[in-house]
Each structure stands twice: as structure tokens, then as C-alpha cells.
């Protein structure tokens, strides 16, 4: 049975991957792209603060695998 921390991390993962998808979808500099950058950065920071650097890096790596164009996200 998942713990509360697992549920929180799963939810944050979903938010981060949605932001990463928006980064891949919208052109750089557009309002949507900028909003997605902020969302990805904030979510990554939250994961880092709650779960540590390894969890934040794992999220970033997962997003880069799905959208290789995103090498420099968050």
C-alpha cells in the first residue's frame, strides 16, 4: 500500500511531466512556455526539498527521456 509520501511524489511527478510536455509543445519565449518553465522549476524544487536531490534528478531524467529536446529543463 502506498504511503502518503509516495502519493505526494506521484502527484508532483505528474505535475512535472505535464510541465515538461508543455515545454516541448510550445515555442520558447511564448507565454505558455514561460509558464511551463516556472511550473517545472517550482515542482522540481519542491521534490528536491521534500525528497532530496536523487528524486529531483530522477524526475528530470524521466522528462528528458520522453522529450529529448528538454536537455536543460529545471
> Is residue 5 over pLDDT 90?
no
- Going from N- to C-terminal start, the domains of the chain cover 4-70
**Residue 40, SS3?**
helix
Task: Tell whether the model's pLDDT for residue 70 goes beyond 80.
Answer: no
* Confidence at residue 64, expressed as pLDDT on a 0 to 100 scale: 87
Query: Would you give the DSSP letter of residue 72?
Result: T
Output the pLDDT for position 72.
52
By 3-state DSSP, what share of the chain in percent is helix, strand and coil, each rounded to 5?
A: 80, 0, 20
**Single pTM value for the model:** 0.84
Mean pLDDT of all residues in the chain?
89
pLDDT at 73 over 70: no
pLDDT number for residue 74? 47
Amino acid at each position: 500500500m502506498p504511503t502518503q509520501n509516495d502519493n505526494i511524489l506521484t502527484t508532483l511527478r505528474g505535475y512535472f511531466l505535464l510541465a515538461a510536455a508543455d515545454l516541448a509543445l510550445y515555442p520558447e519565449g511564448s507565454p505558455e512556455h514561460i509558464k511551463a518553465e516556472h511550473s517545472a522549476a517550482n515542482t522540481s524544487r519542491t521534490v528536491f526539498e521534500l525528497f532530496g536531490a536523487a528524486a529531483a534528478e530522477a524526475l528530470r531524467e524521466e522528462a528528458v527521456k520522453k522529450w529529448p529536446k528538454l536537455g536543460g529543463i529545471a
